[in-house]
């Protein structure tokens, strides 16, 4: 991983050490600590790749998009590109980290069937798996690490299985790692799926919320009225609010406000844009309107939020 500074917050790009050729990399949290300063481990970063973190021992208190993700062994966190994340203050825990480039998830070879049905968005941001499944997940990740080590010319695996390491070998391992990752994530998503979808009486409301959630991701800047979403979905505002209350415990209007507030937080710490520019980018006609909105959803002014997160203030 390498970082480029924007403000005082780093955006981490996928760049493995040496000549490692694959779009997936596996290592331990303890390995990352050995090559990163304690201060660096506690910083908040943005990423251009996916990062799956599996806690295998100890107790951690990571932060994902400014929300605590606490847990011990069996806690899994999926960090997506653009999200704000840090590993927390504690150092008495360990786990696996799997880094995945977004383009790695799409098969480039014409020989591979692109219709895999794999959808990484089905994977929750946070899930807690039981002890039996933890062993299975650890084993799957360990095998990915070992298989990726075939590329290392100094490893015994390379010398025994691939003395010449032709390009075809690298392509085959890349494909193999891709489907190993598909299998791991799909298994977790299926095993720990939203059980409410099994209830035929509640399934329509659950599906309605997921449709709403997808639309919010696409249109939260320009569509601030719940009516716009209800029209697009062909339902009433009341049914949309009921579905959101059932899924998230908040109204549909509040859900859109929180998503807009989250984007504002990301922009405040990951860019050095003035508050007025951020306000305009998020569809506010006046910076004062944005500041009032942000204070309501975050409890701070934009400048206070920047200062609290270690970044300089911008008027």
Hunting for tokens 């844009």 — which residue is that? Answer: 273
Are residue 91 and residue 181 in the same domain, yes or no?
yes
Give the total number of structural domains in the chain. 2
Are residue 162 and residue 70 in the same domain, yes or no?
yes
Alpha carbon 244 to its chain's center: 22
Are residue 171 and residue 77 in the same domain, yes or no?
yes
Are residue 202 and residue 186 in the same domain, yes or no?
no
What is the pLDDT at residue 109? 46
Cα–Cα dist 118/114, whole Å? 9
Q: Tell me, yes or no, whether 313 lies in a domain.
A: no
Domain boundary among 151, 166, 193: 193
CA distances from 155 to 158, 161, 170, 176, 309 (A): 5, 10, 15, 19, 43
| Residue 28 near residue 142, CB atoms below 8 Å | no
What is the pLDDT at residue 311? 55
Are residue 155 and residue 297 in the same domain, yes or no?
no
Are residue 69 and residue 91 in the same domain, yes or no?
yes
Number of helices followed by number of strands (H, E) in the chain: 12, 11
Cα–Cα dist 87/79, whole Å? 11
Are residue 178 and residue 304 in the same domain, yes or no?
no
Cα–Cα dist 11/47, whole Å? 5
Range of the domain at 52: 2-193
Q: Looking at the DSSP assignment, which residues form a beta bridge with residue 11?
A: 4, 46
Are residue 21 and residue 47 in the same domain, yes or no?
yes
What DSSP line would sit under 110-148, residue for residue? TTS-S-----GGGS-SEEE--HHHHHHHHHHHHHHHHHH
Are residue 155 and residue 231 in the same domain, yes or no?
no
What is the pLDDT at residue 291? 96
Are residue 166 and residue 202 in the same domain, yes or no?
no
At residue 105, does pLDDT exceed 80? yes
Are residue 214 and residue 174 in the same domain, yes or no?
no
- pLDDT tens for each residue of 260-293: 999 999 999 888 899 999 999 999 999 999 999 9
| Residue 217 near residue 196, CB atoms below 8 Å | no
For the whole model, what pTM was predicted? 0.74
Are residue 210 and residue 294 in the same domain, yes or no?
yes
- pLDDT tens for each residue of 186-213: 999 888 876 555 554 556 787 899 899 9
Q: Tell me, yes or no, whether 315 lies in a domain.
A: no
Cα–Cα dist 2/275, whole Å? 28
Instruction: Give ∠ CA 277-290-48 in degrees, rounded to 5.
Output: 55
């Amino acid at each position: 991983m390498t970082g480029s500074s924007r403000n005082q917050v780093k955006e981490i790009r996928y760049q493995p050490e040496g000549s490692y050729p694959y779009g997936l990399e596996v290592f331990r949290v303890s390995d990352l600590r050995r090559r990163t300063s304690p201060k660096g481990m506690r910083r908040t970063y943005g990423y251009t790749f996916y990062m799956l973190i599996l806690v295998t021992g100890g107790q951690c208190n990571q932060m994902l998009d400014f929300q605590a993700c606490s847990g011990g062994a069996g806690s899994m966190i999926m960090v997506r590109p653009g999200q704000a994340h840090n590993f927390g203050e504690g150092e008495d825990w360990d786990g696996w980290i799997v880094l995945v480039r977004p383009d790695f998830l799409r098969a480039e070879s014409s020989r591979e069937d692109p219709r895999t049905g794999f959808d990484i968005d089905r994977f929750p941001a946070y899930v807690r798996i039981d002890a039996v499944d933890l062993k299975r997940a650890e084993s799957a990740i360990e095998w990915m690490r070992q298989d990726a080590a075939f590329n290392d010319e100094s490893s015994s695996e390379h010398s025994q299985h691939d003395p010449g390491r032709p390009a075809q070998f690298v392509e085959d391992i890349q494909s193999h790692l891709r489907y190993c990752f598909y299998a791991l994530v799909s298994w977790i998503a299926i095993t720990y799926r939203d059980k409410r979808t099994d209830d035929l009486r509640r399934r329509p409301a659950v599906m309605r919320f997921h449709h709403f959630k997808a639309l919010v991701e696409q249109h939260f800047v320009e569509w601030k009225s719940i009516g716009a979403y209800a029209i697009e979905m062909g339902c009433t505002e009341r049914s949309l609010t009921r579905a959101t209350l059932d899924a998230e415990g908040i109204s549909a209007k509040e859900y859109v406000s929180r998503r807009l507030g989250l984007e504002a937080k990301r922009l405040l710490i990951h860019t050095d844009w003035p508050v007025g520019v951020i306000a305009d980018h998020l569809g506010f006609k006046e910076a004062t309107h944005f500041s009032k909105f942000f204070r309501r959803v975050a409890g701070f002014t934009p400048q206070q939020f920047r200062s609290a997160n270690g970044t300089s203030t911008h008027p």
